[in-house]
Structure 1
């Protein structure tokens, strides 16, 4: 992000939050979301993106990830509608092509999600272990927000609670129980 002149980390975070909502609404696989964020981060590290094109990059990255990960990718028009028809079909396709060329079509990467799945499989984990892993991951996010200072307010937002299904008191219990 340091090489970006018009966008910053906060804008990237807002884009990611929006993409999580899109991911949820389109009922996509978790792998798709992780790959989308990876594609965006790699592209932003290689290409200077204008502020008014950041959402376009996000939509194009998710479209690429859907084509790569999903058995049945959502329709192209779904992405246009979700972005309030802010972009034309040609803009999205052009950005998609630009991203793929910049990344040299290298999309096969190990994401954090793949490691978690591998560890759970090695642990012969059941649904209870999978759930506990998610709770611990959420507690780690909470701890990181507390540690990296200055502390954001609130430490645990409604959006975080919505996506994790965990309220702050539940995280505090896990956080203190684990330490």
Structure 2
């Protein structure tokens, strides 16, 4: 049985809370926690562009009655999170600068500049943290300075990256390389002069907590959380594959990767989830968003985790070992509860999603110290349309400069390299222009 899960209220008697909400209610306040109001769950709504609503592909057993979170797991390394929170007030920008101090700069111009900065960071094989740090420098500079001219805006972005790279990178690009990245439109002396001016404007505060800091840490905690509760089941741990024959090992590994909803483990499915989530976060960085980082990443992670559980038919919640076999869809579209009432597959998926929500709710309480899942509603509402972004799975440029063996040996470092997709700006540009 899954660790620290105890039998409590059966699923058919539970209420589905505010985040299992119909898509048409996303623009309203959270609806009452009543099952009768639900037409389509949030996680299903996020998948309507690519698939129809699915019915459950497995038969209910006693295990589903027992998967209720018992708050035993605790985040054992939240000092890092607390250090981010201690600095967030000092570093978080006020995006009203567009209307108060920067009449020459528009949100769309900012999106174009940040997309170019992201591309430069990817070309230089810089870290994601370098890019996000540069974004923080840019926004805080625009908040403190006044009347930045259009013909200086690219120079500002260039100087932001120059400062961030010197702080974050082991081997930052040379000044001449930065000049070339802007087609030599600015001289060495111009970049250095802007660097000094910017540092004075932002009061030499050059170690900001960023959205990437938060989500990178939260993904690590989620993987630990999932392993803690589910890896005690046979084949939910890669160590269980050691003695298997190669053919059986490959088969079990493939099922494990699909079933275990992880982000940072070195396998293809986890990397796919990581890239999808980070590309959406990258796209969101091009857009002005006043939601605090911890709520931002919590909302995005909720949507992504819900999506991945849905796509896997919630198998992790039901899996009990190698004897477990999902039933044929046509034979398992009906669930009989303990009172003899029939729930069709759609309702059954709603119940499964409520367990995922409960699981995630307790996770963010333990990690981000968010008291209730209602606190991430605005973030969920914001990120929901971004789920339609077309994902680009092209590998980072570092794959062309370093051997596969070396990258696999340092997989954690490999994940930190910035990637760039032209689809981000195209997608966000439509949103920015439509909001004018």
Is the pair's TM-score, using the shorter chain for normalization, greater than 0.5?
yes
The CA RMSD measured in Å over matched residues stands at 2.8
Structure scoring higher RCO (CA < 8 A, sep ≥ 6) equals: 2
Aligned length, in residue pairs? 158
Q: Distance in 2 between matches of 1:35 and 1:54?
A: 17
Contact 1:120 1:130 in 2 (8 A): no
Q: Distance in 2 between matches of 1:51 and 1:7?
A: 7
TM-score, normalised to structure 1's length?
0.76
Deviant stretches of 4+, over 6 Å:
none
CA-CA distance at 1:84 after TM superposition? 1.0
Pairing 1:88–2:229 present: no
Paired residue for 2:276, among 135, 150, 153?
Answer: 135
CA-CA distance at 1:7 after TM superposition? 1.4
CA-CA distance at 1:17 after TM superposition? 0.9
Query: Which segments of 5 or more consecutive residues in structure 2 lack a partner in the other structure?
Result: 1-97, 225-263, 285-380, 395-419, 424-436
Paired residue for 1:126, among 265, 269, 291?
Answer: 265
1:63 aligned partner: 162
Paired residue for 1:112, among 211, 235, 239?
Answer: 211
Contact 2:280 2:389 in 1 (8 A): no
Contact 2:134 2:160 in 1 (8 A): yes
Paired residue for 1:32, among 130, 150, 155?
Answer: 130
Larger Cα Rg: Structure 1 or Structure 2?
2
CA-CA distance at 1:28 after TM superposition? 0.3
Query: Which segments of 5 or more consecutive residues in structure 1 lack a partner in the other structure?
Result: 149-154, 167-179
Q: Distance in 1 between matches of 2:217 and 2:159?
A: 28
CA-CA distance at 1:136 after TM superposition? 4.0
Pairing 1:12–2:110 present: yes
Report the CA distance shift for 1:156/1:52 in structure 2 as closer, same or farther (over 3 A). Answer: same
CA-CA distance at 1:131 after TM superposition? 3.8
Report the CA distance shift for 1:16/1:40 in structure 2 as closer, same or farther (over 3 A). Answer: same
Q: Distance in 2 between matches of 1:11 and 1:146?
A: 24
TM-score, normalised to structure 2's length?
0.33
Q: Distance in 1 between matches of 2:203 and 2:277?
A: 35
Greater fraction of residues in helix: 1
Report the CA distance shift for 1:91/1:110 in structure 2 as closer, same or farther (over 3 A). Answer: same
Q: Distance in 2 between matches of 1:13 and 1:139?
A: 14
